[in-house]
Amino acid sequence: MGNFPTQELLETADRVTQRWQNALSEIEKAKYGPNEWLRDVVGFWTNDVADVWLGAGRVTRTVLLHKNNKKSDKIPVTKLGQVSLTTLGQLGGTKSIQLIVDKTPDDAADPNGKGTVIVKVPPVGFPAPAPAAGEQFVGLLYEDQTPIATVFYVEL
């Protein structure tokens, strides 16, 4: 437990509590719709869970993909040939999906050298079973077995 981010965990618990108290208040006032739901889902997973559960925000960046954001920004890497993306698992469920990683070397003669990667949603949809509205998936992008990005996909 020596390096466990205790302070970050406490701060996250406070943020989560406040977020859901605000959501409950808006639900009671009938001011809570799909946009607010998406805001809370994305905020919870990218700002709260990812901070502590996947590295306390120190090691990995967060990539969020959905129907209006189908690819990540370019992510610079130093060992292009050793970059891999895990299958994304459904949060709280059993489905999984696989996204595409486009790799572009800085020098075409050395595919194991420096370059950039872009994580993309497949253009023709996902392998079966297809995600249903509201489902959320998460996976890790690795470079040489070191996590470099936490990848989230939300089916809107």
Q: Which residues of 86-108 are buried (b: 16+ CB within 10 A; e: fewer)?
A: eebebeeeebebebebeeebeee
Name the pTM for this structure. Answer: 0.65
Domain parsing of the chain, residue ranges: 6-58, 62-154
Instruction: Compute the distance between CA of residue 97 and CA of residue 88 in angstroms, rounded to an integer.
Output: 5
33-75 pLDDT tens trace = 777 777 677 766 666 565 555 544 455 688 888 888 899 999 9
Query: CATH 2.60.40: does it fit domain 62-154?
Result: yes
Instruction: Return the number of other C-beta atoms located less than 10 Å from residue 52's C-beta.
Output: 19
Euclidean distance between the first and final Cα of the chain, in Å?
A: 37
Checking if the pLDDT of 137 tops 70, the result is yes
Checking if the pLDDT of 27 tops 80, the result is no
